[in-house]
């Protein structure tokens, strides 16, 4: 059963169900549970990146070798990825990224706002399909559908995890 | 001129590496390294990047980690590697023993009119790789150095990094296919992976 307080575990289970091998990431508080679950799991390996576009190129190389990865990042990292996304569209590499949003709902830090506003547009301009999840049920069903579609029909799909889901970051 | 003491020629260097690849897969960085590897002999086990600057080493890391028993050689240029310089740190965390990153360092951005890159001003990618915990990092400046590097290829005791100083020359372009989907599909087919 999907409830508000176990969606992260459910999300991890969906990723495992699709036999994802690697989780390249630049960390975000919203991904912390997923990263720690993968650290404890033998079948899925977290890969720490120095910048998000590394994860785009890594995903392509991984698929060249027949394995699957899912890139975890924050919305601010999407800007870092823009040109590297051309690798995916040129080669039709399957690609899924889970993006925790900043700057769009209850944001306290104005520096997060410009990239938060531009995230969906940047992805769509580079040919990435965007699904935006605002509640725990959507996160699970959107990610399930994204993983199925991407790896069976060579698509590039982003699931945005709204701040409404993650809760306001309190300071 | 930075290249004045350098007598290694990029096409000859790449030909020697490719001739000693054995079962290794080769990923190339955009621009001259793509042309150099194609010129040394096309092969379904080559994956040429024509863009995605800064991504060659990470494509190599993804491939190497997907197949730990498959040797992977990335051949790229100094400008391309500088754009993805953080990927050397990322590789240094994972330490795949089947990955080798080879930089053909002519000190210039050749595709765009030979503007000097950072390596012309003393930045040393070999030292960056060494500090990033590559198991072996080589600075190659002579035929002897090159022969020593080739003894470590295909990589089984990596990760291996080599910065090869080559003459700043622009050999005639030798162009592989541009179609990324075809490059992907032939590469995967060669690994007995289905097209889609």
Question: pLDDT of A74-94, one tens digit each?
Answer: 999 999 999 999 999 999 999
A86 contact residues in B (CB cutoff 8 A):
51-52
A54 contact residues in B (CB cutoff 8 A):
55, 58, 84, 86-87, 90
* A139 has pLDDT over 80: yes
CA distances in angstroms from A41 to A46, A48, A139, B77, B192, listed in the order given: 10, 16, 21, 37, 28
User: Of all residues in chain B, what percent carry a pLDDT higher than 90?
Assistant: 93
Per-residue model confidence as pLDDT tens digits over B134-167: 999 999 999 999 999 999 999 999 999 999 999 9
Per-residue model confidence as pLDDT tens digits over B50-71: 999 999 999 999 999 999 999 9
Domain ranges for chain B, please list them.
2-190
| DSSP result, A109-167 | -GGGHHHHHHHHHHHHHTT-EEEEE-SHHHHHHHHHHHHHHHHHHT-EEEEEE-HHHH-
A66 contact residues in B (CB cutoff 8 A):
66-67, 188, 191, 193
Closest CB to A61 among B60, B89, B183: B60
**Which chain A residue is nearest to residue B191, measuring alpha carbons?**
A65
Domain A7-165 falls in which CATH fold?
Answer: Rossmann fold (3.40.50)
Judged by a CB distance cut-off of 8 A, whether residue A138 touches chain B is no
Q: Do B184 and A83 touch (CB under 8 A)?
A: no
Domain ranges for chain A, please list them.
7-165
Q: Do B62 and A90 touch (CB under 8 A)?
A: no
Q: Rounded mean pLDDT of chain B?
A: 95
Q: What is the pLDDT of residue B4?
A: 57
Query: What confidence category does residue A126 fall into, taking pLDDT thresholds of 50, 70 and 90?
Result: very high
Q: Rounded mean pLDDT of chain A?
A: 94
Q: What is the pLDDT of residue A166?
A: 75
Q: What is the pLDDT of residue A171?
A: 60
| In contact, A8 and A28? CB cutoff 8 Å | no
Q: What is the pLDDT of residue A165?
A: 84
Judged by a CB distance cut-off of 8 A, whether residue A162 touches chain B is no
Q: What is the pLDDT of residue A46?
A: 98
Per-residue model confidence as pLDDT tens digits over A49-78: 999 999 999 999 999 999 999 999 999 999
A46 contact residues in B (CB cutoff 8 A):
none
Euclidean distance between CA atoms A36 and A139, whole angstroms:
19
- Encoding tokens for residue B142? 């002579």
Segment B95-114 mean pLDDT: 96
Domain B2-190 architecture: 3-Layer(aba) Sandwich (3.40)
Q: What is the pLDDT of residue A1?
A: 47
Q: What is the pLDDT of residue A50?
A: 98
Judged by a CB distance cut-off of 8 A, whether residue A19 touches chain B is no
Alpha helix (H) residue ranges in B20-154: 32-39, 56-66, 78-83, 86-94, 125-131, 143-150
Q: What is the pLDDT of residue A52?
A: 98
Segment A103-125 mean pLDDT: 94
Task: Supply the angle between the helices B32-39 and B10-19 in degrees, to the nearest 10.
Answer: 50
Q: What is the pLDDT of residue B1?
A: 44
Task: Spell out which chain B residues touch chain A, with contact meaning CB-CB distance below 8 angstroms.
Answer: 27, 47, 49-67, 70, 84, 86-87, 89-90, 93-94, 180-181, 183-184, 187-188, 191, 193, 196
Q: What is the pLDDT of residue A105?
A: 87
Q: What is the pLDDT of residue A6?
A: 86
Closest CB to B90 among A21, A22, A54: A54
* B107 has pLDDT over 70: yes
* A3 has pLDDT over 60: no
The CA R_g of chain A, rounded to the nearest whole Å, is 15
Higher pLDDT among residues A3 and B127, named by residue: B127
Asked which of A1-10, A61-70, B89-98, B130-139 is least confident by mean pLDDT, the reply is A1-10
Q: Which of the 8 DSSP states describes residue B52? A: -
């Amino acid at each position: 059963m999907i409830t508000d307080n176990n969606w992260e575990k459910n999300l991890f289970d969906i990723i495992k169900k699709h036999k994802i091998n690697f989780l390249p990431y630049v960390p975000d508080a919203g991904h912390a549970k997923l990263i720690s679950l993968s650290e404890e799991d033998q079948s899925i390996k977290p890969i720490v990146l120095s910048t998000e576009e590394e994860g785009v190129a890594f995903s392509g190389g991984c698929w060249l070798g027949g394995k699957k990865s899912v890139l975890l990042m924050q919305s601010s990292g999407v800007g870092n990825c823009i040109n590297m996304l051309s690798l995916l569209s040129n080669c039709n590499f399957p690609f899924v990224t889970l993006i925790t949003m900043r700057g769009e709902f209850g944001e306290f830090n104005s520096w997060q706002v410009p990239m938060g506003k531009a995230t969906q547009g940047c992805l769509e301009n580079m040919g990435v399909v965007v699904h935006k999840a605002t509640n725990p049920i959507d996160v699970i069903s959107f990610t399930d559908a994204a993983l199925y579609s991407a790896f069976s029909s060579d698509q590039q799909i982003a699931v945005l995890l709204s701040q409404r889901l993650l809760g306001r970051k309190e300071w | 001129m930075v290249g004045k003491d350098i007598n290694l020629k990029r096409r000859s260097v790449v030909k020697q590496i490719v001739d000693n690849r054995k079962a290794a897969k080769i990923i190339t960085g955009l621009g001259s390294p793509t042309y150099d590897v194609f010129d040394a002999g096309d092969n379904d086990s080559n994956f040429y990047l024509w863009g995605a600057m800064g991504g060659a080493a990470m494509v190599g890391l993804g491939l190497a980690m997907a197949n730990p028993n498959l040797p992977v050689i990335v051949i790229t240029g100094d400008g391309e590697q500088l754009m993805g310089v953080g990927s050397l740190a990322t590789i240094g965390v994972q330490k795949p023993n089947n990955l080798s990153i080879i930089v053909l360092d002519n000190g210039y951005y050749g595709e765009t009119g030979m503007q000097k890159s950072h390596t012309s001003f003393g930045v040393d990618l070999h030292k960056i790789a060494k500090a990033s915990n590559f198991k072996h990092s080589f600075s190659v400046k002579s035929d002897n150095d090159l022969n020593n590097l080739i003894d470590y290829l295909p990589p089984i005791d990596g990760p291996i990094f080599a910065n090869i100083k080559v003459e700043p020359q622009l050999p005639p372009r030798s162009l592989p296919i541009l179609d990324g989907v075809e490059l992907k599909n032939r590469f995967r087919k060669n690994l007995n992976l289905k097209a889609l």
